[in-house]
Amino acid sequence: MGNFGVQFRRDLLVAIRARTETANPIAFFVLALSLFVFAVGTDSETLPRVAPGVVWVVALFAAMLSTENLFQRDHDDGSLELMLLDSRPLFLGVLGKLLAHWSVSGLPVAILSPLAAVFINAPFEIIAILVGTLLLGTPVLTLIGGIGAALTAGLGRGGLLLAVLVMPLYIPVLIFGSGACYRVLDGATATAPVLWLIVLLAGSITLAPFAIGAALRGSQEY
């Protein structure tokens, strides 16, 4: 587990020092929700109904924005090559890196979501399920986005290609995350979509680090 801890601490410190870059996804999340409220209006009857879906869509794009440069800095300064040459298990280092990234991108979005929900007039009864689904879903977005970021490492500005690669894989997370909120809003149980989010999270944690490792090795060969 040493490789996991070392990579987690290193990337967390790097993210904290690069405050502007780290704050971009959070700023995007806040600004996008604000613009939506200004466009629709707080008095609109539509706003409370669409609020869960809006929060989830904005959180998805914030996650995509944050993962674009997940491996790019390491590729540019040579630390990615050193990580690949390390004799310790690569998947642990990748997992530590992804956890550090989620801690400064997905986790703040989940923490801010109750305030965001109140700001966009979301019904009070969905706030708990909204936070819960974001805590389950944003790590999946990070893990899936990590695969796309690994495939586009070294391409410079590969944002469009990254979006094409990961967007189809993001859709189930969006469906189950927002679907759980709408089930609660309609007075039904959200057990099924929440369980699916747990399955997606477990599967992503199990498979994504190995897929990312293979993609990184492939990107360094060309």
Q: What is the mean pLDDT of each run of 10 residues along the chain (222 residues)?
A: 80 83 86 87 76 92 85 74 76 90 92 89 89 96 91 70 85 96 92 96 94 81 54
Rounded Cα–Cα distance for residues 5 and 93 (Å): 8
Q: In this predicted structure, what is the pLDDT of residue 79?
A: 73
Q: In this predicted structure, what is the pLDDT of residue 51?
A: 87
Taking only the tens place, the pLDDT of each residue in 181-194 is 999 998 899 999 99
Rounded Cα–Cα distance for residues 150 and 215 (Å): 6
- Coil, strand or helix at 105: coil
Per the rule left: phi > 0, alpha: psi between -120 and 50, beta: everything else, 174 is alpha
> Quick one: which of 147, 197, 142 has its CA closest to 173?
197
Containing 11, the helix (H) or strand (E) segment is helix 2-17
Q: In this predicted structure, what is the pLDDT of residue 1?
A: 54
Rounded Cα–Cα distance for residues 155 and 33 (Å): 31
Q: In this predicted structure, what is the pLDDT of residue 138?
A: 96
Structure tokens that stand for 192 in this block: 């099924």
The widest CA-to-CA distance across the chain, in whole angstroms, is 59
Taking only the tens place, the pLDDT of each residue in 125-147 is 899 999 999 999 999 999 999 99
Taking only the tens place, the pLDDT of each residue in 56-72 is 999 999 998 888 778 87
Phi and psi dihedrals of 18, rounded to 5?
-90, 65
Q: Is the dihedral of CA 34, 40, 44, 49 positive or negative?
A: negative
Torsion of CA 70, 72, 77, 80, to 10 degrees: 60
Q: In this predicted structure, what is the pLDDT of residue 191?
A: 94
Name every residue whose Cβ is closer than 8 Å to that of residue 18 and which is 6 or more positions away in sequence: none
Q: In this predicted structure, what is the pLDDT of residue 43?
A: 67
Q: In this predicted structure, what is the pLDDT of residue 2?
A: 66
Which pTM was predicted? 0.90
